Structure 1
Amino acid sequence: MANPVELTILIEKIKAKTAVVGVIGLGYVGLPLAVEFCKAGFRCIGFDIDEKKVNLLKEGKSYIKHIDEARIKTSLPLFTPTSDFSRLTEADCIIICVPTPLGRHHEPDLSYVLNTTRTIAQYISKGKLVVLESTTYPGTTDEEMKPILEAGGSGGLRAGEDFYLAFSPEREDPNNKDFSTSTIPKVVGGLTPQCLLAAQTLYDYIVVRTIPVSSTKVAEATKLLENIYRAVNIALVNELKVLFDKMGIDIWEVIEAAKTKPFGYQPFYPGPGLGGHCIPIDPFYLEWKAREYEVSTKFINLAGEVNTSMPQYVIQKTIDALSENGKSIKGAKVLILGMSYKKDLDDTRESPSLKLFDILQKKGAVVDYNDPYLPEMPKTRKYSFKKTSVALTAENLSSYDCVLISTDHSAYDPVFIASNSRLVVDTRNLIKDSHKYKGKIIKA
């Protein structure tokens, strides 16, 4: 049974805003979260292993495009960025916002979560709250984290009795103009009712509304449902894109017509493949966990197959378009427009543009890129392309055999691109009046 004294002390500290919040992982999820806690009046310690990030934050500088430096500087009186994890002893509430990528064989890679949990376990003590926000499969908080935390500290501590454990999935949508960390309702699930109370009390100070659920597993499953829903529907329009193309039908025109229906339909859009940290990854987490219960997730598997095949489809359309113009892919000069996974962002996590770049190079093409938000190609877990962004001039555009639009940044002028390029393969419907350009615009 939970210690009512310890719980009361923690709740009172949160209400008085004397509780110190520790956020581990200062990326696209952790940094805005830390800023919101500071804005609400909490002292926040931000932990990250990347010294470069820590030093930039100490100077009040942002390394994420959509997080304004003014927000960082305003937070600094209450915000302490550090790489010294021994300072976890100072935190009353610890929130984990670290990556949960896939392994080489599309299996869940929980190494960041579990290594972080082991670090926390060294400093765990009575009355602390630990919350995981990283997307994962149902059971991670209860089955993976709980035993590690209980084995740490001075030993003998029990989750739900001596300290509190919860899961609250991040719902960040970087650069969304309508919703931010504080205005998105937040799902919260606790190991016990006491754990839920502690976590919900904390989050109530920074979000518009908290949504309590009965367990950490329900909260974990909620996040997966949200993103698998999107992955499946994107797979549907991607499959229809391939079919309708063969039928001479423009999928984009079909979607625009269909979305005029005021009920029973929500538009999803095709593309060159899935990007970002959630949608390309989350389905595989649930698929992997389902095997433990001897269940085959046929629907999820099929959606994954369709979506992961899209880069190859785009490449084939590019090869065919070049061939129609008397050019082989080998030796062809190709300019990819947009390396981030989403428009108007500098985020390349799981970006299909990277896959397109890699395939084109392996097929012998000479590949360059332009991205107004990425002057240099960042190194990722899978790729290391030592390239810099090419200036988007009329002269440069006309020098390439093919311009491949992979990300539809707002800065891209469709008329300028179409008018000055020899051939355009458009995966985002950036150039809507393609019929005006005498067959040199190919939708893919």
Structure 2
Amino acid sequence: MKIAIIGLGYVGLPLAIRFASSGSEVLGLDTDPSKVESLSRGDSYIRHIPSTEVASLVERGAFEASTDFSRVAEVEAILICVPTPLDVHREPDLSYVLQSGAGIAPYLDSGLKTVKGEIRPKLVVLESTTYPGTTDTELREVLEKGSGLKAGVGFHLAYSPEREDPGRTDHSVRTIPKVMGGYTEACLKRCEELYSMAVDQIHPVSSCRIAEATKLTENIFRSVNIALMNELKVVFHEMGIDVWDVIDAASTKPFGYMPFYPGPGLGGHCIPIDPFYLTWKAREYGKHTRFIELAGEVNTDMPDYVIGRVAEVLNEEGKAIRGSKILLLGIAYKPDVDDDRESPSYALMSRLERRGAAVSYNDPYVPEIRSLRHYPEFAGRKSVEISAEYDLILLATHHSEYREYDFSYFEVPIVDTRSCLKYPGLRYVKA
């Protein structure tokens, strides 16, 4: 089978590699020419995906990258893995999904393949996280309008949410069970057939909307529990209690408890964004998702809490934030990866600089800050060496390099938002 995958980022590229490694011929499509050029050379631009793996697939013709969306005429199935961010009003932005749909729609009626004497319509699967109803309404309408075909008849349509966790080694695209729902039973059957080629376990559900709601539920679960830990961190601090010690002790209970950990805010492509997709959609039905929105407020407030703790520590040194030199450790949103999407580190940098601090950063995985949607002023900044020549060091990401780094001789105050340092300095504070 030949398939196309639209969007070659942290979701699309691993998926492309999995299908190509499973015997499919994969056409990767992206609007970014630099990504296409890199992959065509066999070079990976994602740190945890080795270039040797990409090069091997390119060399044997299992994978090819292109910016030419008309080439979906060549394939049997099209998987859409594009961003679904929030706009400036924190409302869902489906523009990437709908533009992708409009781009492929004119080619859905071409290249139909005869199998055992039957005509097999092309299959379109949306993987991008979104609110229930996106696949069978907005995307379906764009595809039908652009192709002149009816979903379920002229082309098959399904939704199967991505469950990618960049840098994770105990689970992979192949081993993570794949949830999927189809617009019709025939659509679902085609979707099952497709993913069974590349993943170990599939879990079909009765509709696209159930599959869409499944992904939101998974991420809302994490958002709410992280918010609870963030709130407890603030309360326990006032009581003189270390929340990380509490979590460590509570984790010894073999039932009825699952550990979640506080931090300086939420990052990544899912947790800071997905809950708001449901809160927005719920308003259409006259419902107010108070619990979800409260969790979002708590998590969004965490950078301000951290800045407050930084101010307290500097004050104890007889200094103010204004005029202080601060080294921020970690730009990536999670440890040991180069993924900086929605990273709370940017919020920390922005708030500190607005209050007059001079902020430098170190991150072994992000040597230079790329162009950013929300913080364009940081683009081009480069990682500096770790040193004690600062008024304060603020640890935002628990990279392995930081956990093992010997800060024991540092006299500069260190504020650790992850409680991760094995060899903290003389003036060490958790926040």
TM exceeding 0.5 = yes
User: Residues 168 and 219 of structure 1 are in contact (CA less than 8 Å); yes or no, is this contact kept in structure 2?
Assistant: yes
1:89 paired with 2:73, answer yes
Residue matched to 1:128 = 122
User: Residues 24 and 46 of structure 1 are in contact (CA less than 8 Å); yes or no, is this contact kept in structure 2?
Assistant: yes
User: Residues 408 and 423 of structure 2 are in contact (CA less than 8 Å); yes or no, is this contact kept in structure 1?
Assistant: no
CA deviation string 1:195-238 (max 9, x = no partner): 00001100001111000000000000000000000000000000
Residue matched to 1:443 = 430
1:398 paired with 2:385, answer no
1:429 paired with 2:419, answer yes
Residue matched to 1:144 = 138
Distance 1:354 1:71, change over 3 A: same
Residue matched to 2:117 = none
Match of 1:271 among 235, 238, 263: 263
Structure 2 residues without counterparts, runs of 5 or longer:
113-120
1:419 paired with 2:401, answer no
Match of 2:228 among 223, 229, 236: 236
Once structures 1 and 2 are overlaid, which stretch shifts more, 66-75 or 366-375? Answer: 66-75
The amino acid of 2:86's aligned partner reads: L
Q: Secondary structure at the match of 1:309?
A: helix
Count of aligned pairs between the two proteins: 417
Alpha-carbon RMSD across the aligned residues, in angstroms, is 1.1
Residue matched to 1:175 = 167
Distance 1:37 1:226, change over 3 A: same
Q: Secondary structure at the match of 2:327?
A: strand
Q: Secondary structure at the match of 2:92?
A: coil
User: Residues 189 and 219 of structure 1 are in contact (CA less than 8 Å); yes or no, is this contact kept in structure 2?
Assistant: yes
Match of 1:317 among 284, 299, 309: 309
1:262 paired with 2:254, answer yes
Cα distance in 1, alignment partners of residues 98 and 54 from structure 2 = 29
User: Residues 361 and 383 of structure 2 are in contact (CA less than 8 Å); yes or no, is this contact kept in structure 1?
Assistant: yes
CA deviation string 1:256-294 (max 9, x = no partner): 000000001000000000000000000000000000000
Cα distance in 2, alignment partners of residues 233 and 339 from structure 1 = 23
Distance 1:98 1:218, change over 3 A: same
Residue matched to 2:118 = none
Q: Secondary structure at the match of 1:305?
A: helix
Match of 1:56 among 29, 34, 38: 38
User: Residues 166 and 195 of structure 1 are in contact (CA less than 8 Å); yes or no, is this contact kept in structure 2?
Assistant: yes
Residue matched to 1:36 = 18
1:322-337 map, 5 Å: 322-337=314-329
Once structures 1 and 2 are overlaid, which stretch shifts more, 93-102 or 157-166? Answer: 157-166
Offset of residue 398 of structure 1? 1.6
Residue matched to 1:14 = none
Offset of residue 431 of structure 1? 2.6
Distance 1:441 1:158, change over 3 A: same
Offset of residue 418 of structure 1? 4.2
Distance 1:304 1:53, change over 3 A: same
Cα distance in 2, alignment partners of residues 162 and 105 from structure 1 = 37
Q: Secondary structure at the match of 1:105?
A: coil
Cα distance in 2, alignment partners of residues 417 and 400 from structure 1 = 13
Cα distance in 2, alignment partners of residues 265 and 24 from structure 1 = 39
Residue matched to 1:387 = 381
Distance 1:414 1:401, change over 3 A: farther
Match of 1:356 among 348, 368, 381: 348
Residue matched to 2:298 = 306
Offset of residue 379 of structure 1? 1.7
Q: Secondary structure at the match of 2:352?
A: helix
Cα distance in 2, alignment partners of residues 107 and 248 from structure 1 = 39
Cα distance in 2, alignment partners of residues 284 and 32 from structure 1 = 26
Q: Secondary structure at the match of 2:38?
A: helix
Distance 1:333 1:82, change over 3 A: same
Residue matched to 2:182 = 190
Offset of residue 65 of structure 1? 0.4
CA deviation string 1:158-207 (max 9, x = no partner): 11112100000000011111001111000010001100000110000111
Identity %: 55
Q: Secondary structure at the match of 2:64?
A: strand
Cα distance in 2, alignment partners of residues 22 and 236 from structure 1 = 41
Offset of residue 419 of structure 1? 2.5
Residue matched to 1:227 = 219
Offset of residue 122 of structure 1? 1.8
Cα distance in 2, alignment partners of residues 114 and 271 from structure 1 = 34
1:153-172 map, 5 Å: 153=147, 155=148, 157-172=149-164
Cα distance in 2, alignment partners of residues 170 and 220 from structure 1 = 10
Offset of residue 388 of structure 1? 0.9
Distance 1:426 1:418, change over 3 A: farther
Cα distance in 2, alignment partners of residues 142 and 207 from structure 1 = 24
Cα distance in 1, alignment partners of residues 143 and 81 from structure 2 = 17
Q: Secondary structure at the match of 1:241?
A: helix
Cα distance in 2, alignment partners of residues 78 and 267 from structure 1 = 41
Displacement over 4 Å in runs of 4+: none
Cα distance in 1, alignment partners of residues 140 and 124 from structure 2 = 10
Offset of residue 417 of structure 1? 2.4
The amino acid of 2:53's aligned partner reads: R
1:26 paired with 2:16, answer no
Distance 1:304 1:286, change over 3 A: same
Cα distance in 2, alignment partners of residues 318 and 128 from structure 1 = 56
